[in-house]
Amino acid sequence: MIDRTLISEERIAARLDELAREIDTAYAGREILAVGVLKGSVFFLTDLLKRLSTPVAVDFLQVRSYAGTSSTGNFELVRDLSSDIAGRDVLIFEDVVDTGLTLRKLLGLLGTRQPRSLKIAALLKKDLPENADLPVDFLGFTIGPEFVVGYGLDLDEKYRNLPFVAIWDPTR
């Protein structure tokens, strides 16, 4: 069951204000192609994009790597982008970086399509040795290794619409 709130709605909103300012500064004079990784990043992406002054286009892709509360270690591209990213400033939106497998694969895949730049925005990054070398350009919060739900994050499709991030405790 839901154990406790880890990051409140208010803290998320305040951090998104800061991230939007960082992104506007980094992309001054450019246009961003925001790439949302379905489905978990949708809440983060829409709330953050509403705060940006930089012109932005949006596209989505979908990957599969998780079942229940553990990564399967496999990566499958379920739905590809509908846009050509060549020559564009691509900013990938991810909900949480866990092992880093998803983003490593996506950086490899999208990197072959000649974007002008390719950066990462993530709401959460778990503090784990497996993902320590993975550069997240715009990061909301660093968290512990626990499984979390809410604000887009699910457990088998449940809890995505919680307005805050909560820890899931399998023992309760």
Q: Given the complex with ligand IMP, which of 90 and 153 has the nearer CB atom?
A: 153
- H/E run at residue 97: strand 89-97
Which residues are near ligand IMP by CB under 6 A? 40, 65-66, 71, 94-102, 147-149, 153
CB 68 within 8 A of CB 92: no
Torsional class of 123: left (φ above 0), alpha (ψ -120 to 50), beta (otherwise): alpha
Q: Given the complex with ligand IMP, which of 61 and 96 has the nearer CB atom?
A: 96
Q: Given the complex with ligand IMP, which of 24 and 47 has the nearer CB atom?
A: 47
Q: Given the complex with ligand IMP, which of 12 and 148 has the nearer CB atom?
A: 148
Q: Which of 47, 80, 84, 98 is catalytic?
A: 98
Q: Is 154 a catalytic residue?
A: no
State the minimum distance, in angstroms, from the CB of residue 77 to ligand IMP. Answer: 13
Q: Assess whether the previous peptide bond of 39 is cis (omega < 30° from 0).
A: yes
Please report, as a single letter, which amino acid is at residue 99: T
State the minimum distance, in angstroms, from the CB of residue 135 to ligand IMP. Answer: 14
State the minimum distance, in angstroms, from the CB of residue 117 to ligand IMP. Answer: 22
| Token pair belonging to 73 | 């270690």
Angle between helices 9-26 and 42-49 (to 10 degrees): 60
- Round to whole Å and give the CA distance between 158 and 118: 31
State the minimum distance, in angstroms, from the CB of residue 75 to ligand IMP. Answer: 7
What ranges in the chain are assigned the alpha helix state H? 9-26, 42-49, 101-111
> Coil, helix or strand for 13?
helix
Catalytic residues: 98
